[in-house]
Structure 1
Amino acid sequence: MDRTNGNLILFSGYAKLPTGITASEMYKVIGVIVLIDLDTDVIVEADCTLATKLANKHVSSALVGCSMKNGAEPLVRIIDHIYQGSAKKAIITALRIIYDKYRSHKDGMTPSALD
């Protein structure tokens, strides 16, 4: 995978975790990070900061291959179905934030840090 072609863009979303779960003791917030191919609008890689490798792998692998073309709701439905952990709402919030950033970028409204 050529990461220098300019069409692979990394997006991240963060949301507060509920108190009392292992991940919140470690991180306070969850980070969901996706690499999107802007030619196809498909998530090609994903990662998250859940506390266990299994949860991280399960959520991340469910996102890979998903299209961003139809909005955040298809991603939300996937997570709602495949993840029954306490961090579900935080993951969904992070995905909605990612989708908003993705839309802004596609619409040319992303501010540059170089300005």
Structure 2
Amino acid sequence: MQNINKNEILITGYAKLPEETTAYKLYSVVGISLRVNIETSEIIDADITLATSVAKQFFKDVVVGKSMKKIDEIINIFERQYLGTAKKSIITALKICHMKYRDYLRNIESDDE
């Protein structure tokens, strides 16, 4: 079992899926989990509740190694290159994760004052 670094957090975000998707039949919402290093803002690992392993791997390939501070770059990739029905749900869940991350950093800064 791997130890968790004290500088890492896990952020989750959820968004409703379109009813015509297979993932909706399985989950009804898309769930995203991002493991983030708070010192570097790098996404270290990621997972998503989609129906196919190819879609899950695409998500992971896009986000792992990217910075939470550059969420627009991540979202742009999904807007241009993800042609699945769950696109809007994924982008919404990513934005929720980003909001949670910004709030977390603000709270850390205010605790330090």
Aligned length: 107
Q: Separation in 1 of the partners of 2:98 and 2:21?
A: 26
Kept in 2, the 8 Å contact 1:32–1:95? The answer is yes
Kept in 2, the 8 Å contact 1:31–1:94? The answer is yes
Aligned to 1:19: 19
Kept in 2, the 8 Å contact 1:14–1:30? The answer is yes
SS in 1 for 2:31: strand
Q: Separation in 1 of the partners of 2:90 and 2:3?
A: 26
Aligned to 2:6: 6
SS in 2 for 1:107: helix
Aligned to 1:106: 105
Q: Give the aligned residue type for 1:35.
A: R
- 1:15-94 equivalent positions in 2, closer than 5 A: 15-70=15-70, 72-94=71-93
Q: Separation in 1 of the partners of 2:90 and 2:49?
A: 10
Runs (4 or more) in structure 1 with deviation over 3 Å come to none
Q: Separation in 2 of the partners of 1:38 and 1:75?
A: 18
Normalising by the residue count of structure 2, what TM-score does the alignment of the two structures yield?
0.89
Deviation at 1:80, TM superposition (A): 1.3
Q: Separation in 2 of the partners of 1:105 and 1:48?
A: 21
Q: Which runs of 5+ in 2 are unaligned?
A: 109-113
Evaluate the alpha carbon distance shift between residue 76 and residue 24 of structure 1 in structure 2; reply closer, same or farther with a 3 A threshold: same
Deviation at 1:3, TM superposition (A): 4.0
SS in 2 for 1:61: helix
Deviation at 1:66, TM superposition (A): 0.7
Q: Give the aligned residue type for 2:75.
A: V
Any idea what the Cα deviations from partners look like across 1:34-62, whole Å, max 9, x if unmatched?
10011110101011000001100111111
